[in-house]
C-alpha cells in the first residue's frame, strides 16, 4: 500500500462519517498558505470523540496552526467549556482566531500567543485549573518538556495525547541527531518512566492515511 491509497481510504471514510461543515471548510481555505501539517479529518474526529467520551470541560492544546484541530476539540466542549490553545506564530494565531470566530467558538476558545514553554510557565504562575485533556502537536524537539507540563496540568484520570510520534518509523533510529526524532524518543522514554512509577497508563497507536505513516501517544493519569 502507498500514501495515495491511504489518502483515498481516508477520504472515503471522512466523506461518510466526518464531512466538513462550512466552519471547517473555511478554516482549511484560510490556512491554505500555511504548512499543511494539521491532523486529518478522521484524526480530528478521534480527538473530538475522546474529549466527549471523558466529558472534557477544560482542554489545553499545544500547537494551534490555523485552528483545524482546535475547532474539532472546541466543538466537543459543553457550552460552558473552555479551551486554551498555544501558538508561537503571530500570523498563525491571527488566522486561527479568525477561523474560530467564524466557527462560532470565540466564546470558549482562547488563542495565547508566544513560545509554548513561556506560555506554560505563565499558566503555572496563574495557578490555572487542571485540564481534562491536553493535546500536544507542536515542535517535536520540545516534546519532553511539553509532556512534563501536561502531567502537571492534567487532572487524575485526564488524558494526554501527543501527535506525530512514529514519524515514518524514524523513531526507531537511536543514532539520529534530528531534533524532532531525539525529542520524540526522549518523550517516549519519559512516558515509559511514568508508567514504571505508576503515574500514568500509556499506549501508542500507529496511523496511516492522508498524513502518511505516523501515530499518537495516548496517556491517562492515574
pLDDT digits (tens, 9 = 90+) for 144-153: 999 999 999 9
Surface-to-core class of residue 82, CB atoms within 10 Å of its CB (0-12 exposed, 13-18 middle, 19+ buried): middle
- Please tell me the total count of domains within the chain: 1
State the pLDDT at residue 30.
97
CATH number at residue 114: 3.40.50.150
Residue 181 to residue 169: CA distance in whole angstroms: 10
pLDDT digits (tens, 9 = 90+) for 120-140: 999 999 999 999 999 999 999
Instruction: Show the cell assigned to 24.
Output: 471547517
Domain limits for position 187: 3-221
pLDDT at residue 46 tops 70: yes
Instruction: Show the cell assigned to 77.
Output: 466542549
What percent of the chain lies above the pLDDT cut of 90?
Answer: 99
Mean pLDDT of 38-54: 97
pLDDT tier for residue 2 given thresholds of 50, 70 and 90 = confident
Amino acid at each position: 500500500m502507498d500514501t495515495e491509497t491511504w489518502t483515498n481510504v481516508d477520504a472515503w471514510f471522512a466523506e461518510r462519517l466526518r464531512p466538513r461543515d462550512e466552519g471547517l471548510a473555511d478554516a482549511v481555505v484560510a490556512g491554505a498558505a500555511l504548512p499543511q501539517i494539521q491532523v486529518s479529518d478522521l484524526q480530528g474526529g478521534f480527538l473530538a470523540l475522546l474529549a466527549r467520551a471523558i466529558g472534557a470541560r477544560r482542554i489545553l492544546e499545544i500547537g494551534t496552526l490555523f485552528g483545524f484541530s482546535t475547532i474539532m476539540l472546541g466543538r466537543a466542549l459543553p457550552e460552558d467549556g473552555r479551551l486554551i490553545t498555544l501558538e508561537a506564530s503571530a500570523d498563525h494565531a491571527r488566522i486561527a482566531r479568525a477561523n474560530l470566530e467564524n466557527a462560532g467558538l470565540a466564546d470558549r476558545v482562547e488563542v495565547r500567543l508566544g513560545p509554548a514553554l513561556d506560555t506554560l510557565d505563565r499558566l503555572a504562575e496563574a495557578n490555572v485549573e487542571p485540564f481534562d485533556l491536553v493535546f500536544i502537536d507542536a515542535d517535536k524537539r520540545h516534546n519532553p518538556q511539553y509532556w512534563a507540563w501536561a502531567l502537571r496540568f492534567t487532572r487524575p484520570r485526564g488524558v494526554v495525547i501527543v501527535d506525530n510520534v512514529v514519524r515514518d518509523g524514524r523513531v526507531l533510529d537511536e543514532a539520529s541527531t534530528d531534533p524532532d526524532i531525539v525529542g520524540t524518543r526522549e518523550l517516549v522514554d519519559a512516558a515509559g518512566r511514568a508508567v514504571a512509577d505508576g503515574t500514568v497508563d500509556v499506549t501508542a497507536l500507529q496511523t496511516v492515511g492522508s498524513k502518511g505513516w505516523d501515530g499518537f501517544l495516548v496517556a491517562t493519569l492515574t
